[in-house]
Chains A and B, each alone.
Chain A
Amino acid sequence: MTPKVHLDHNHLRHLLKAMIRIRRFEAKCVELYQAQKILGFLHLYDGEEAVSVGVMEALGPQDAVIATYREHGQALARGVDPGCLVGEMLGKLNGCCRGRGGSMHFFHRQHRFYGGNAIVGGGLPLALGVALGDKMQGRKAVTACFFGDGAADEGEFHETLNLAKLWRLPILFVCENNLYAMGMAVERAEADTDFVHKASGYKIEGERVDGMDVVAVESAARKAIERIRASSDPYFLECRTYRFRAHSMFDAQLYRSKEEVEAWRKKGPIGRFQTWLEENHLIKREEVLEMEKAIDAEIAQAVAFAEAGPLEPISDVERFVTMEEVPA
């Protein structure tokens, strides 16, 4: 039986709020980056919010998440506190990783959030291991592995999908196809632009879903999880989406037109969802404004928390190069 998404008021507000939170958070990151408080590489999630929010709805706390360097959406949707994410990006000791990783390397043990990976495709083999380890220890958990269209070109993608199916590992492969791998359009990189088809080459069941439709994503994700639990096989979800901002803060976006971006913005997940909700009288404009205010306050608090945080003493720089023990 296909699990239904419960479209009650609370849930819908929750979905909208979750997406707006991500959007506002990313805007704040831009501000902090331009003020040179966030340094290095910053990869923003604007336009893809529905994918993370929808998928996370289908996961429980016992499940595991592996993401990429474009992970703010996944981390926030997973429930990681924004304060420790900002702290991490400010390089502070109160960051989720003591300031060791930055924007591209969020880890959070309690949320079973295993990064954050700056190597395209680098997280896929890890997902194999997490799922394998859970399975061998009898845990009923699913590992959700997020990656982009570019990762499907790396050898790791093929090795991983092959092995995941071979060993029947409970992995939800979430391919966020935002049509560009940095500046490389999928038409120019893929002999076969059908990613579900690629997965089927490894006999992995899959589905393509409109990544701009949060309800569709949630529905597909719930179905996928159920399939995984029932079949004990991995599942592949291709989410068609679009990245409104540049690949990173350094990108001049010479590879796509402004018109294309604008066209996609009009089809963006938040606007679409909000419009649908308002048209169906499921939400009032004032509620949305209040939501936005609350989120802004939340983010302001997160920033204040982060900025108040201390820096790790340089004398500790070699801590955790080697571990004294395996953390319990």
Chain B
Amino acid sequence: MASQEPPSPLRMTYREACKQALRQALAADPRVFLMGEDIGGYGGCYAVTKGLLEEFGGERIRDTPLSESAFVGAGIGAAMVGMRPIVEIMTVNFSLLALDQILNNAVTIPYMSGGQFAVPLVIRMATGGGRRVAAQHSHSLEGWYAHIPGLRILTPATIEDARFMLIEALKDPNPTIIFEHVMLYNMEGELDPAVASVDISAARVRRAGADVSLVTYGGSLFKTLGAAEQLSKEGIDAEVVDLRVLRPLDARTILASVTKTRRCVIVDEGWRSGSLSAEIGMRIAEEAFFELDAPLRRVCGREVPMPYAAHLEDACLPQAESIVLAARELVRPS
């Protein structure tokens, strides 16, 4: 009997991981089909769906006209009658055109019908800034969507989560939105071949630490990990918590971290006021107030419509430097 070698890890981009997830889903369940703009012939705005039309055909990979409201509503209706549609809204910026269908139909129908109908719909959206595409194309509205009861909001920030969160989302009877940060698509990494699935309920401590908790999600994760590296050189041991699920929030992991380190910086690309960081901060204040050894701090998007000029955009987004500054100030106040 030949000895079993451990299978080699798969190296791939975040984009490729998203695609593999879609392929797995389409292959496994005939009820799964895709709808979205330019997902077929074009291969996807971010090239996520490239090749899928050829592989699965036009019935299951449906290019839509530029009608966000109609095709998201179509996804809702199809989900209600037994299908498992995955709707791609090109970016969160265009999702506003479908907001009525999402908020007034997708999440209300199960409730308003008294539980007669579920809406097992998955929506994927690209999100976030950093690509110099200016104010109408750089929004970070994950926090807005996380405000809505009935939705599950996922923010895969690692190759592994990009690969496997979608599969779990399809098992969820509730409408789920998966946010893919535009700066992550090119990110490369290794998949652990032993991992065949992930949960879509818990936050994950990506880096354990003792001095301060850095809580973040999505596109800000790697900046935050970078900040933690920098801080460790200064002798400050930061713990990095990747939220992974913005709704429902895994308060337990957040609170456990803050109870341990007693200091917290929340990193959220959304505009500061009323952002998700406000919700997280409030939860900590509500449930871990007596554990805190320093005020709560956050690093957020600056409250401006995103400017085009590169240096201005960079100044408006959370960066590793600003995270380091905030964390340092809590641990070693000047």
Contact with A along B98-116 (1 / 0, CB 8 A): 0011001101011111111
Closest to B113 in A: A107
Are A163 and B70 in touch, CB under 8 angstroms? yes
Among the stretches B79-87, B160-168, B256-264, B300-308, the one at the interface with A is B79-87
Those of A102-125 within 8 Å (CB) of chain B: 105, 107-109, 114-119, 122, 124-125
Are B80 and A129 in touch, CB under 8 angstroms? yes
**Contacting residues, chain A, for B152 (C-beta < 8 A):** 322
How far, in whole Å, are A155 and B64 apart by their CA atoms in the complex? Answer: 16
**CB within 8 A of B73: which of A129, A167, A321?**
A129
Given A136-B33, A159-B67, A327-B115, A322-B150 contact (CB < 8 Å): yes
Those of B114-138 within 8 Å (CB) of chain A: 114-118, 120
A232 at interface, CB cutoff 8 A: no
**Contacting residues, chain A, for B112 (C-beta < 8 A):** 97, 100-101, 105, 107, 115-116
For residue A138, give the distance in angstroms from its CB to the closest CB of chain B: 11
How far, in whole Å, are A166 and B64 apart by their CA atoms in the complex? Answer: 9
Q: For this complex, into which size category does the number of interface residues on chain A fall?
A: 35 or more
**CB within 8 A of B81: which of A100, A107, A122, A130?**
A130
B43 at interface, CB cutoff 8 A: no
How far, in whole Å, are A29 and B61 apart by their CA atoms in the complex? Answer: 47
Are B120 and A326 in touch, CB under 8 angstroms? yes
Given A126-B76, A133-B77, A133-B81, A163-B114 contact (CB < 8 Å): no
Those of A133-168 within 8 Å (CB) of chain B: 133-134, 136-137, 155-156, 159-160, 162-163, 166-167
Closest to B71 in A: A163
**CB within 8 A of B101: which of A107, A122, A130, A166?**
A122
Are B73 and A323 in touch, CB under 8 angstroms? no
How far, in whole Å, are A149 and B229 apart by their CA atoms in the complex? Answer: 62
B75 at interface, CB cutoff 8 A: yes
Residue with the greatest number of chain A CB neighbours at <10 A, chosen from B31, B72, B82:
B82
A319 at interface, CB cutoff 8 A: yes
How far, in whole Å, are A126 and B62 apart by their CA atoms in the complex? Answer: 17
B48 at interface, CB cutoff 8 A: no
How far, in whole Å, are A213 and B104 apart by their CA atoms in the complex? Answer: 35
A286 at interface, CB cutoff 8 A: no
How far, in whole Å, are A191 and B191 apart by their CA atoms in the complex? Answer: 58
Residue with the greatest number of chain A CB neighbours at <10 A, chosen from B64, B77, B111, B118:
B77
How far, in whole Å, are A327 and B71 apart by their CA atoms in the complex? Answer: 23
Are B75 and A325 in touch, CB under 8 angstroms? no
Closest to A110 in B: B116
Are B78 and A130 in touch, CB under 8 angstroms? yes
How far, in whole Å, are A159 and B67 apart by their CA atoms in the complex? Answer: 6
Are A128 and B74 in touch, CB under 8 angstroms? yes
Closest to A93 in B: B114
Given A128-B77, A163-B65, A122-B118 contact (CB < 8 Å): no
Residue with the greatest number of chain B CB neighbours at <10 A, chosen from A64, A98, A118, A162:
A98
Given A321-B149, A322-B150, A137-B70 contact (CB < 8 Å): no
User: Chain B: interface secondary structure?
Assistant: mixed
How far, in whole Å, are A133 and B33 apart by their CA atoms in the complex? Answer: 10
Are B82 and A137 in touch, CB under 8 angstroms? yes
**Contacting residues, chain B, for A127 (C-beta < 8 A):** 77
Are A126 and B73 in touch, CB under 8 angstroms? yes
Are A163 and B74 in touch, CB under 8 angstroms? yes
For residue A311, give the distance in angstroms from its CB to the closest CB of chain B: 13
How far, in whole Å, are A127 and B76 apart by their CA atoms in the complex? Answer: 9
How far, in whole Å, are A134 and B79 apart by their CA atoms in the complex? Answer: 10
Given A100-B112, A321-B111, A324-B173, A109-B117 contact (CB < 8 Å): yes
**Contacting residues, chain B, for A109 (C-beta < 8 A):** 113, 116-117
Are A64 and B174 in touch, CB under 8 angstroms? no
Residue with the greatest number of chain B CB neighbours at <10 A, chosen from A96, A118, A162, A167:
A167
For residue B10, give the distance in angstroms from its CB to the closest CB of chain A: 32
Are B64 and A163 in touch, CB under 8 angstroms? yes
For residue B123, give the distance in angstroms from its CB to the closest CB of chain A: 13
**CB within 8 A of A125: which of B59, B70, B82, B117?**
B70
How far, in whole Å, are A160 and B72 apart by their CA atoms in the complex? Answer: 11
Are B81 and A323 in touch, CB under 8 angstroms? no
Closest to B35 in A: A132
How far, in whole Å, are A15 and B31 apart by their CA atoms in the complex? Answer: 40
A320 at interface, CB cutoff 8 A: yes
**Contacting residues, chain B, for A137 (C-beta < 8 A):** 31, 81-83
**Contacting residues, chain B, for A107 (C-beta < 8 A):** 109, 112-114, 116-117
Are A323 and B173 in touch, CB under 8 angstroms? yes
For residue A127, give the distance in angstroms from its CB to the closest CB of chain B: 7
For residue A101, give the distance in angstroms from its CB to the closest CB of chain B: 4
Given contacts A101-B113, A109-B116, A114-B80, 5 further A-B contacts (CB under 8 A): A97-B112, A107-B113, A133-B82, A321-B107, A327-B118
The 8 closest A-B pairs by CB, nearest first: A129-B77, A125-B73, A159-B70, A107-B113, A98-B114, A159-B67, A133-B78, A133-B81
Pairs across A and B, CB under 8 Å, 22 listed: A95-B114, A97-B113, A100-B111, A100-B113, A107-B117, A108-B116, A109-B113, A114-B80, A124-B73, A125-B73, A129-B73, A129-B85, A131-B77, A133-B77, A136-B59, A137-B82, A163-B64, A163-B71, A321-B150, A323-B110, A324-B173, A325-B173
